[in-house]
Amino acid sequence: MLLHEALARSRHQEAVAAAREYALARRFTAGRRWASLAGYAARRAERARSAARTA
């Protein structure tokens, strides 16, 4: 029975580690996505300010 418990514990630890890595990857990609969106918004705002000055 101890072998089965050790195997179950090992599999559980592997699953927890995989979930932790997945969460880290999602935070990283979400950060890149928000940075890209912020850059787009800044460029658009600058174009709007330029258009307002010339009008």
How far is it, in rounded angstroms, from Cα 44 to Cα 52? 12
Q: Which two tokens stand for residue 4?
A: 């089965």
Q: What's the mean per-residue pLDDT of the chain? A: 95
Q: Which two tokens stand for residue 38?
A: 């912020």
Residues 2-20: pLDDT tens digits? 999 999 999 999 999 999 9
User: Which stretches within 1-55 are classed as H helix?
Assistant: 2-54
pTM of the entire structure? 0.61
CA angle 26, 28, 16 (to 5 degrees): 45
CA distance to 12, 13, 16, 23, per residue, from 2 (Å): 15, 16, 21, 31
